[in-house]
Amino acid sequence: MTYLAKPRLHHPSLTKNQVGYTRRDYEGKVSTLCAGCGHDSISGAIVQACWQLDIAPHRVAKLSGIGCSSKTPDYFLGASHGFNTVHGRMPSVLTGAYLANRELLYLGISGDGDSASIGLGQFAHAMRRGVRMVYIVENNGVYGLTKGQFSATADKGSVAKKGATNNDTAIDLAALALQLGATFVARSFSGDKAQLVPLIEAAIRHGGAAFIDVISPCVAFNNHAGSTRSYDHVREHNEALNRIDFIDLAAEQVVEHPLDVIDVPQADGTALRLRKVAADYDPTDRLAAMNAMQLRAAAGEIATGLLYVDPAARDWHAAQRTAAGALNAFGEEALCPGAAALARINAGLR
Ligand SMILES: Cc1ncc(C[n+]2csc(CCOP(=O)(O)OP(=O)(O)O)c2C)c(N)n1
Ligand code: SF4
Ligand SMILES: [Mg+2]
C-alpha cells in the first residue's frame, strides 16, 4: 500500500519530546522497500534516536548515494533537508554542505556497494578528514537495487542466490575506517535495535567523523543458506564487544553505576556508557580495537558494538580554524570585505 500517503494529522495526545515534536514528526514517506528489508529497521532506529535526542528535524541534513539503502532517507525525517546524490558521491557532496553550514546535523546514508565499491575513495577521504557527520553504511553484501550482484563487502566463499561463489576478499569498512583515522567506529545489526539506537545517539553527539557499519540483510537477494549476511548467519555469529546505553548526563538526574559499565566523556560534555561483555575491552585504544576485530574475524565472528572512540575528537572546521557560524548566515560585508582587505592578504603571502 505504498501509494497511500501517511495521514498528516496526528492524535493530539501523542507524547512530545523537549522540542515539541512527536515521534511521528520524525518519520518520512511510506517505505517502498521489500517487506522485511533490514534497511527499514535502520530507518526506524534513526527516527527513534533523533526523537529521543530532541533534535529539531529542520536542523538535520540527510544525504545519500544510490541504492535501496540510499533511498531510505525518503522514509525518515520527512521535514529535514535531503540530497540524494550520485552513486558513491555522498561524502563529497556532504562535505561541501558541511563547509557551507556547520550548524546542521549531517547524516550520510550509504550502502556497501555505494561506499565499498564505486565510492571507496570518497569514503576513505571523508574518514581521514574528520568531517563531522554520522556516516551509516547499510551493509547487506550485495547490490540490492540492481538485483543482487556481490558487493566488495561480500565475504570470500559466500554463495549468491543463483549459486555463484564470491572469490574476492571482502573489504571490512569498519576496519578500514579505523585504519584511516576515523574517531568513532561502530558496528551493529539492523535486527538489534537495543544496540543500534544508542550507537546512533552516541554517533550524533560525537565531535568528528562517526562511522557505523550496520549489517542489514537483503531479504530478496542475500538471506539464503550460504550467505554470510543472512539474518540466521548474523544472529549465530554476532559477538557483541560491548553494549552501550547513551546517557545524556545533562538531562539524566539519577545515574546507576553497575560494576560492568564505564563512562566515556564526549566532546559535548555528555558521556557514553559502555556495558562491556569483554571486561578488558577498551574502546579508546585504536590498536587494541584493530586487533580485537581481526581476532573476531579470524574466529568467523562479527564484532559489534562501539569498536573505537576518541573522546577528544575535533572536526574539520576546528582543524582548519574556519570562522565560527554558518557561512550562509554571513552578510555581504563579512563575505566580501573589499579590495583593501584583499591587498592586505596578498601582502601577507609575499
Ligand atoms: C555511476 C553508476 N553506476 C552504477 C549504477 C547502478 N547501481 C545502482 S544502485 C547500485 C548498487 C547499490 O548497492 P548498495 O550501495 O549496496 O545498495 P543496496 O541496494 O544494496 O542497499 C548500482 C551498481 C548507478 N546507478 N550509477
Ligand atoms: S532488494 Fe534487498 S536491499 Fe533492496 S529493498 Fe529488497 S530486501 Fe532491501
Ligand atoms: Mg548493498
Grid coordinates in use for 182? 576515523
Q: Is 208 a pocket residue for ligand 1 (Cβ < 6 Å)?
A: no
- Identify the pLDDT of residue 217: 87
CA–CA gap between residue 128 and residue 118 (Å, rounded): 18
Average pLDDT, the chain: 86
Dihedral sign for Cα atoms in the order 255, 259, 265, 271: negative
58's CB contacts (< 8 A; 6+ apart) are 79, 80, 81
Q: According to the model, what pLDDT value does residue 245 have? A: 62
317 Cβ partners below 8 Å, 6+ apart? 102, 132
Whole-number Å distance, alpha carbon 42 to ligand 2 midpoint, is 13
Q: Which three cell numbers stand for residue 98?
A: 558541511
Residue 195: the pLDDT is: 84
Q: 135-163, pLDDT tens digit by residue?
A: 999 999 999 999 999 999 988 888 887 78
Ligand with the closest atom to the CA of 71:
1
Atom of ligand 2 nearest to the CA of 222: 2
Chain segment 31-46, per-residue pLDDT in tens? 999 998 999 999 999 9
237 CA distance to ligand 1 middle (Å): 27
Q: Give 262's pLDDT tier (boundaries 50, 70, 90).
A: very low
- How far apart are the CA of 12 and the centre of ligand 3, in A? 39
Residues with Cβ within 5 Å of ion ligand 3? 111-113, 140, 144
Asked whether 192 and 209 are in contact (CB, 8 A), the reply is no
Q: CB neighbours (10 Å) of residue 333?
A: 8
Query: 185 in ligand 2 pocket by Cβ < 6 Å?
Result: no
For residue 346, with 0-12 CB atoms within 10 Å meaning exposed, 13-18 middle and 19 or more buried, which class applies? exposed
Q: Report how far apart, in Å, the C-alpha atoms of 136 and of each of 159, 167, 335, 342 are.
A: 25, 26, 34, 41
Find out whether the beta carbon of 113 lies less than 6 Å from any atom of ligand 1.
Answer: yes
Closest C-alpha to ligand 2, atom 1: 144
**Residue of minimum CA distance from atom 5 in ligand 2:** 33
Looking at the chain, the whole-number percentage of residues with pLDDT higher than 70 is: 87
Atom of ligand 1 nearest to the CA of 111: 15
Q: 79-138 pLDDT, tens per residue?
A: 999 999 999 999 999 999 999 999 999 999 999 999 999 999 999 999 999 899 999 999
Q: How much is the pLDDT for 261? A: 44
Residue 228 has pLDDT above 80, yes or no: no
Beta-bridge partners for 214: 138, 188
Closest ligand 2 atom to residue 33 Cα is 5
Which residue's alpha carbon is nearest to atom 8 within ligand 2? 37
Instruction: Flag whether pLDDT at 258 surpasses 50.
Output: no
Residue 218 near ligand 2, beta carbon < 6 Å = yes
Nearest to 170 by CA among 157, 183, 188: 157
Name the β-bridge partners of 49: none
H runs (alpha helix) in the chain: 38-52, 68-71, 90-100, 112, 120-129, 173-180, 193-205, 231-237, 286-298, 316-320, 332-335, 339-349
What's the CA gap between 65 and 87, in Å, rounded?
Answer: 5
* pLDDT given for residue 82 in this prediction: 97
Which pairing describes strands 184-189 and 209-215: parallel, antiparallel, or unpaired?
Answer: parallel
